[in-house]
Amino acid sequence: MTKIIDGKAVAKKVNTQTATAVAELAAQGIQPGIAVIIVGDDAASQIYVRNKNRKATKLGMHSVVRQLPATTTQDELLAIIAAYNTDDSIHGILVQSPLPSQINEPLITMAIDPKKDVDGFHPANVGKLITNFPGNYPVANTPRGIMTMLQEYDVDPAGKTAVVIGRSTIVGKPMAALLTNANATVTIAHSKTADLKAVARTADILVVATGIAHLITGADIKPGATVIDVGMDRDDNGKLVGDVDFDSAQGIAGLITPVPGGVGPMTIATLMQTTVELAKWSDVSE
């Protein structure tokens, strides 16, 4: 019998903890602050940013949304980031992707102060994650949220075989690093992997983050495996589906995240959690 991982329930628990942490900081005269910068009018980005702002405000944080026109130049965006880097009321800075073609996204990532890099994408923070560096630093929120879900459902990666399908810097690579740091034996698979589905069948923990609807079916899953579906795709009827064929995985996977209601809620909850941590760490020098 396949058990469903309830991302909404885990996110609610994380948000409750975050609200408590916000109240504790408020008693010390600190209000965690997050600035989200969005360039252009991408519809999906507008929804994401609105949800982030609503959640931050609900949790008692100082939330700023900076909406910029699609014609914004790279220098203009860099100047805004520089201002937030020195703004003591802002502890986390997020620049929403995608960015217009005239802007170099890696350069923008580099411009954010690593101590305010709420997305965990700055090379300094990625390097710390890869080397399992001790201390406090932000980690990409979707992979971190997945690790929280695994913990909540008593899935210990230690000694297990994990396969991460997808090698993005947003999910795949940091996910593989977190699982490696948790003592799993990790394979990163992708579009060039020979016999991808055979590799998937080796996984005790299978994380799929490709953006390809129903890439993985029940036949590609090891019986009893924990399956984490990061996909947010649309089928031919416009229905929201994942990278994993949820129906055919039933009765084969031991645990599985649904789409929607799995990884998605955890990403925003973890972003809020990270913002509060950055506020706590703001006076601590590494």
Per-residue pLDDT tens for 174-233?
999 999 999 999 999 999 999 999 999 999 999 999 999 999 999 999 999 999 999 999
Query: Within this chain, do residues 251 and 160 fall inside the same structural domain, yes or no?
Result: yes
Query: Within this chain, do residues 95 and 154 fall inside the same structural domain, yes or no?
Result: no
Query: Within this chain, do residues 218 and 254 fall inside the same structural domain, yes or no?
Result: yes
16 domain residue, yes or no: no
Q: Is the dihedral of CA 209, 213, 215, 218 positive or negative?
A: positive
Question: 19-26: which pairs have CB atoms within 8 A and are 24 or more residues apart?
Answer: 19/59, 19/60, 21/276, 21/280, 22/59, 22/60, 22/61, 22/276, 23/60, 25/276, 25/279, 25/280, 26/60
Query: Within this chain, do residues 236 and 146 fall inside the same structural domain, yes or no?
Result: yes
Burial 41-58 (b: 16+ CB within 10 A, else e): ebeebeebbeebbebbee
Residues 139, 92: Cα–Cα separation, whole Å: 12
Condensed to tens digits (0 to 9), the pLDDT of residues 82-114 reads 999 999 999 999 999 999 999 999 999 999 999
Query: Model confidence at 244, in pLDDT bands (50, 70, 90)?
Result: very high
90 domain residue, yes or no: yes
Residue positions annotated with a catalytic role = 52, 96, 119
Detail the residues annotated as belonging to a binding site.
Answer: 166-168
Q: Does residue 284 carry a pLDDT above 70?
A: no
Residues 80, 249: Cα–Cα separation, whole Å: 46
Task: Tell me the mean pLDDT in the region 4-14.
Answer: 98
Domain count, the chain: 2
Both tokens of 265, joined, read 């809620």
75 domain residue, yes or no: yes
Round to the nearest angstrom and report the end-to-end CA distance of the chain. 47
Q: Does residue 157 carry a pLDDT above 70?
A: yes
Both tokens of 255, joined, read 């645990």
Q: What is the CATH number of the domain that holds 189?
A: 3.40.50.720
Residues 207, 171: Cα–Cα separation, whole Å: 10
273 domain residue, yes or no: no
**Angle formed by the axes of helices 263-281 and 141-152, nearest 10°:** 110
